[in-house]
Structure 1
C-alpha cells in the first residue's frame, strides 16, 4: 500500500523541525508585515515612489467597502488631497502603518483623509504630515476624519499639521482613540462631534490653534451622549485645554494642561455654536498651570476652570496655578467642587455667580482677588474652605465675599494670613440671604479678623 511504502521511506522534509530533528513541524515563514492574513500596501499598488494622484486612487480603491488588512512598510506615501475630498467609504478592516511609514498630503489647505461609514475598523500607527505645513485656519478642513462609523479603534498615531482639527470623529458610535500625539493644528487637536460614547486615552496635543481635546454636541445633530477622556496632556493651546461643550455624560480624568489662551478646563452651553446644554459632566484629577494667560500673543485673561450654563457638573482633585484670571469661574450652573486648590491667581480664587454650588475641602492661596467670591446664587453650601494669603492687591481685603445669595449653609471657614502686613482678613456677607455661616477660624497673624455681616447670618468663632 502507498501508506506502508511512505512509512518505510522515513521522515519527509516537512516533518522536520527547524534544527533538522524529526518529530516537530517546521515553523511557517512569518508574514513580512507581522500581521498574518494581511496584504502589503505595495502589493495593492501604493508605493513611496508613486505620485500623489496614483497613491490616492490606489488607497481609496483598496480600502473602500473592504474588510482587508493593509500594512504600510516604511516610506513616505504622498497623497494628492487637492480638489475633491479623499473619501474611503465603508472600511471595516485594519490599516497598519509600520514605523517610518507616513501619509504625506500635498495640499495644506484641504482635508487629508475621510473615513465614511464602516464597522469595527482598526487603524494603527497612522502617521501624517503635509508637504508644506498649514499656516492658517481653513474652515473645516481636518487632517483625519471619521464620520458615521461604529466601533472604530484608532491607536498609536501621530498627526502633524492640519488646516482645521487634527483628528475629528463626526456622529460616530463608540469611537476610541488611544495613544495619540497631535501637534501644530490650526483648530482642535482631537474633536468628538455628536458622538455616542467617544473614548480617548493617552492623548498628547501640542501647539493647537483651538482646543486641545473637545467633546461637542451641536443641537442640529443627533442627541448622542457619553464620553471618557483619560491621561490627557495639553500644551500651548490657543483656545481651551479640554472642553465639554453641549455634550452630556462626559468624564475627563487624569489631565495636565499647561499654557493656554482660553480656559484650562471648560464646560458650557454656547449659543454662538448652537449647542445643547451639557449635564452629568465630571472633571477629576487635573493639574492646570498657566491656563488662560495667552499663547503667542493670542487670548489671555481666562480662568483655570470655567463652567457656564451647565450642570450638574462634578469637579474634584483639581489644582490650578497661575491662571490668566480666576482659579475657578462658575456661572449659571449646578456644580459640586471638592478637594481642589487654586494658587497665585491674578483675580479671585473661586468666583461663583448665579449658580447652585456645593463646595468642600477647597483652598485658595496667594490670590490677588478675593479667595471665595459668590454672588446671586440660589444655594451655596460649603464644608471646609481655606483662604490663605488672599486679596493681595484687592483693596477690600476680603478673604470671603458672599453677596445676595438666596441660601448660604456654611461649614468651617479658615481665614489664614501669614503676611506682614496681612492682606486678606475680611469676611464680608451682604444682601438678603438666609442660612448660616457655620464656624469661622481666625489664623491671621498681623491683623484682626473683620466680620462685615450686614446679612445677619449666624456664625460661630472657633
Structure 2
C-alpha cells in the first residue's frame, strides 16, 4: 500500500523532503501523484534473502520514479559481480532510509550499488556496510557508484567500508553530496571523475585508503569542469586529503585535513594517469595538520599543500602545521598565496620552483629548512612575508633564499629569530636575477642578520 506524504513524515522521513536541496541547487518535487512506498511493498525486506532483495531493488528502482522508504533494519543485499554487477538503470525517484536502516553487502571484494543513468534522483540517509569489512584494495570495486547521471542529490549518507572508493561519480552532471560520512575505504572516500559542476558540502571521511575527497579529470573522458567542496573534514587518509587532479574550475573552502600520508591539499597534472591540466583552482580557508606524515606505514615525506604542473591556482587563508616535509611546495604552476601560515616543518616553509608566484602575508614559523626558498621562477612578487625561527637544522642558515629567478619584486620581508642563538639569519640572493628585495626588516640579534646578495638586487635594510 502506498504511503501518503503526511504518513511518511510521521514515519520519520525528513521534513519538507520534496523541496530540500543544497544551496544553489533547484528544488524538485516528486512526480505528481507519487507517494512514498514502503520497501516491503516492493519486495525488499530485512527478512529476505540477499538474492531476493537484489532482484527486488533492480525491479523496483530501474527505469522508475518511485519514492521508496526503508524502515529501520539491516537489508542483506547480494552484490556479487558475476555474471554481472548490481545495476539500477535510470532511477529518477527518491530513496529514503530511515535512521537504523542500512544495506549490508555480502561480498567485500565487489561493488555495492551502481546507479546508471537517470535524472533528478534523490537519496536520503543512504547507509551501507559489509557483512565482513573489506581488508584489501580491489581496483574499480566502489561501494556506491553513479554513472552518467544528471542532478543526482545525496544527503546524509553513511558509507562504512569499500574495496575501492566509498562514493563514486563518473561522467555525472551536477551531482550533489551533502552531510555525508565515509569511513574505512580501501581507496578514495568521495571521488568525482570527469563530472560537470559536482558539489560536496559537510563531508567527513575517516581512514580512507586513498584520497579523502578527489576531483579527477582524465584526458580520455569528457572535458567537464567545475566543482565546489565546502566544510570538508578528512582524517587519517593513506594518500592525500583533498585532491584536484586534472579538473579545472574547482574551489575547496573551509576544509580541515588531519593526518595524511600524501599531501594535505593537492592540485596537479599527472602524466602517469593521463589527466588534463587543472587551472582556475582555489583552496580557501583550510587547516592542514600532519599532512604528509606516515599513516599505516604509508607516506612520510609529503607536504601540507602541493601544487604541481598546474595552471592558475590560488591558496588563501590556509594554515599548515607539522607536515611531512614542506609547508607549501609549488612547481611549474602559476600561483597566488595569500594569508598562508606554515609552522613546524621538517623541510622548507615555502618551496617555490619554476613557477610564477604572487605572494602576500605569508608566515613561516619554526622550520628546519629554509623559511622561503624560490628557485628558477619566472617571477616572484611578494608583499609582506614573515620568516620566524627558520633554518633550525639547515646548514645555510637562510631564512630567505632567492636563486636564479628571472625577476624578483619584493616589498617587505620581516626576518625574526627569537632563539637564544639564531638559526635563520641569512637573506640570500644568488644567480642572475633582476628586481629588488624591498625592505628587509632585521629582527635578528645573535648573530646579526646577513644579507648575502651576489645577484645585486636592490634593498633597504631597517
> What is the TM-score of this pair, normalised by structure 2?
0.93
1:62 counterpart SS class: helix
Structure 2 match to 1:417: 417
Q: Is the 8 A contact 2:5 2:36 kept in 1?
A: no
Distance verdict in 2 for CA 1:34–1:421, change over 3 Å: closer
Distance verdict in 2 for CA 1:455–1:29, change over 3 Å: closer
Q: Is the 8 A contact 1:33 1:71 kept in 2?
A: no
Structure 2 match to 1:309: 309
1:197 matches 2:197: yes
Structure 2 match to 1:370: 370
2:296 counterpart SS class: coil
CA distance in 2, matches of 1:397, 1:342: 18
1:91 counterpart SS class: coil
Aligned-residue CA RMSD (Å): 1.2
In structure 1, stretches of 5+ residues that fail to align are 1-26
Q: How many residues align?
A: 436
Question: Which digits, 9 at most, give the CA deviation of each residue in 1:70-103, with x for residues without a partner?
Answer: 0001111100001221000000000000011000
Pick from 50, 53, 60 the counterpart of residue 58 of structure 2.
60
Q: Is the 8 A contact 1:211 1:241 kept in 2?
A: yes
Structure 2 match to 1:180: 180
1:59 counterpart SS class: helix
CA distance in 1, matches of 2:428, 2:77: 64
Structure 2 match to 1:9: none
Structure 2 match to 1:30: 7
Distance verdict in 2 for CA 1:91–1:446, change over 3 Å: same
Q: Quote the offset at 1:55 in angstroms.
A: 0.3
Question: Which digits, 9 at most, give the CA deviation of each residue in 1:43-86, with x for residues without a partner?
Answer: 11101011110000000100000001000011111000012210
Structure 1 match to 2:219: 219
Question: Which digits, 9 at most, give the CA deviation of each residue in 1:240-280, with x for residues without a partner?
Answer: 00000000000000000011000000000001111000000
CA distance in 2, matches of 1:29, 1:215: 39
Q: Quote the offset at 1:445 in angstroms.
A: 2.4
Q: Quote the offset at 1:292 in angstroms.
A: 0.3
Structure 2 match to 1:81: 79
Structure 2 match to 1:22: none
Structure 2 match to 1:335: 335
Structure 2 match to 1:359: 359
CA distance in 2, matches of 1:309, 1:214: 17
Q: Is the 8 A contact 1:292 1:301 kept in 2?
A: yes
1:42 counterpart SS class: helix
Structure 2 match to 1:452: 452
Q: Is the 8 A contact 1:419 1:445 kept in 2?
A: no
Distance verdict in 2 for CA 1:308–1:28, change over 3 Å: closer
The structure whose Rg is larger is 1
1:81 counterpart SS class: coil
1:437 counterpart SS class: strand
- Which residues in structure 2 correspond to 1:42-61 (within 5 Å)? 42-61=40-59
CA distance in 1, matches of 2:51, 2:200: 33
Question: Which digits, 9 at most, give the CA deviation of each residue in 1:401-439, with x for residues without a partner?
Answer: 000000000010000001111000000100000011110
Q: Quote the offset at 1:370 in angstroms.
A: 0.2
Distance verdict in 2 for CA 1:29–1:215, change over 3 Å: closer
2:51 counterpart SS class: helix
Structure 1 match to 2:19: none
Q: Is the 8 A contact 1:418 1:446 kept in 2?
A: no
Q: Quote the offset at 1:34 in angstroms.
A: 5.2
1:58 counterpart SS class: helix
- Which residues in structure 2 correspond to 1:427-446 (within 5 Å)? 427-446=427-446
CA distance in 2, matches of 1:290, 1:457: 36
Distance verdict in 2 for CA 1:273–1:428, change over 3 Å: same
Question: Which digits, 9 at most, give the CA deviation of each residue in 1:19-64, with x for residues without a partner?
Answer: xxxxxxxx99734645681100011110101111000000010000
Structure 1 match to 2:103: 103
Q: Is the 8 A contact 2:200 2:230 kept in 1?
A: yes
CA distance in 1, matches of 2:295, 2:216: 23
Q: Quote the offset at 1:300 in angstroms.
A: 1.1
CA distance in 1, matches of 2:438, 2:186: 50
Structure 2 match to 1:321: 321
Structure 1 match to 2:384: 384
CA distance in 1, matches of 2:5, 2:312: 58
Distance verdict in 2 for CA 1:141–1:451, change over 3 Å: same
In structure 2, stretches of 5+ residues that fail to align are 14-33
Q: Is the 8 A contact 2:79 2:85 kept in 1?
A: yes
Question: Which digits, 9 at most, give the CA deviation of each residue in 1:297-325, with x for residues without a partner?
Answer: 11110000000000200110000000000
Q: Quote the offset at 1:194 in angstroms.
A: 0.2
Q: Is the 8 A contact 1:33 1:40 kept in 2?
A: no
Q: Is the 8 A contact 2:124 2:157 kept in 1?
A: yes
Structure 2 match to 1:70: 68
Deviates more, 1:296-305 or 1:275-284: 296-305
Distance verdict in 2 for CA 1:54–1:415, change over 3 Å: same
CA distance in 2, matches of 1:41, 1:53: 15
